[in-house]
Amino acid sequence: MSRLLSTTLQALRPYVPGEQPREPIRLKLNTNENPYGPSPKVLAAIQQATSEDLRLYPDPTAMKLRQSIAAYYELSPDQVFVGNGSDEVLGHLFQALFQRPGVVLLPDISYSFYDTYSALYDVTPHHIPLDDHLAIQADDYCHYDASPVAGIIFANPNAPTGLSLTLDDIARIARAHPDAAVVVDEAYVDFGADSAVALLGDYDNIVVVQTLSKSRALAGLRVGFALASPLIVEALTRVKDSFNSYPLDQLALVAAQAAMEDTAYFEEICRRIISDRNELSRQLAALGFTVLSSDTNFLFCRPPNGQAQALAQRLRQHGILVRHFNHARIQSYLRITVGTSQGCKALCNALQQILSSELS
């Protein structure tokens, strides 16, 4: 069938998502899902919306949800664009903002969907290496002038490292490239980093992308959004309405609105995860791991012997899934989602047992 496929598709390497296991798993710590579940108000909103009205199309403007998001961030609804998960929002951004002459600057180690979208939308990526400590250096972006810059994208905090840039660094990048969109992917920002939303009033080329999958525990409903100038939101809407005018169904709309409005539950769950993360970091360090500082709901760490892939396989034998990336610079690291406090203890007990057996 390859003779019927486009040349782009034949060369495309699709993004590989984290494993969703089919066999029983004791601890699933490989895809950074929230261990505490969504707000009870979310479940109530879904239940109330489950009626014969599902025969009707949802609001294509998602206005009520956009109003709730805008109120939370103290913006106007015309600065909010929503989509079917932040991945779809990112895809629309590539098409709306990056399909221009020049290169798109991005880290060499980051969310691999950026490379997939670059190939899909015929965008030329230019990878800027992380430094020796696996951190993004803003100067590398500010001083890039080898070719025209069509856009810039990075995750902040970065994934899979968990490290963050400061708002001053992001502002410097935006000032250095005033005619290029600077897309800041903030999937994990609620766990300790500062959001670039604070910069939107001063820099019309900054776009902030967030998701309700992580801190608001709605990975199963697929809701993401972008915050930007009204001009960029209008451009994204034009792409959406040329692709799928109804990206969010009625249940997702009401659930996301309830999640955005239940700030007390959201803040409490974030505090619990941050506390669990800090304690897990201390326990892993005590076991001999090198643990990077994290502003996310996961830890990026190097086991004592550096045999990360083998350790991931051993953990699986204990019914525990973690994530290993087969990238030359980070193949000795594991990414471990922060689970409940009980789950973190179970993980450390399994690690102690595995590491002790290797030493005996």
Domains by residue range for the chain, with CATH: 19-37+264-359 (3.90.1150.10), 40-261 (3.40.640.10)
pLDDT attached to residue 3: 78
CA angle 92, 96, 97 (to 5 degrees): 115
Name residues whose C-beta falls within 8 Å of residue 359's C-beta, 6 or more positions apart in sequence. Answer: none
Look up residue 95 and give its DSSP letter: I
Work out the percent of the chain whose per-residue pLDDT is above 90.
90
Q: Is residue 359 predicted with pLDDT exceeding 60?
A: no
For residue 138 the two structure tokens come to: 């803003």
**pLDDT tens digits, one per residue of 212-262:** 999 999 999 999 999 999 999 999 999 999 999 999 999 999 999 999 999
Work out the percent of the chain whose per-residue pLDDT is above 70.
99
Three-state DSSP class for 212? Answer: coil
Q: Which of 240, 247, 123, 111 is nearest to 181 (CA)?
A: 123
Mean pLDDT of 164-191: 98
First CA to last CA distance, the chain: 54
Helix axes 341-359, 308-317, angle to 10 degrees: 110
**pLDDT tens digits, one per residue of 67-86:** 999 999 999 999 999 999 99
Average pLDDT, the chain: 95
Q: How confident is the model at residue 19 (pLDDT cuts 50, 70, 90)?
A: confident
Which amino acid belongs to residue 96? A
Sign of CA dihedral 211, 214, 219, 221: negative
CA distances from 161 to 26, 165, 169 (A): 25, 12, 18
Mean pLDDT of 193-209: 98
pLDDT attached to residue 1: 55
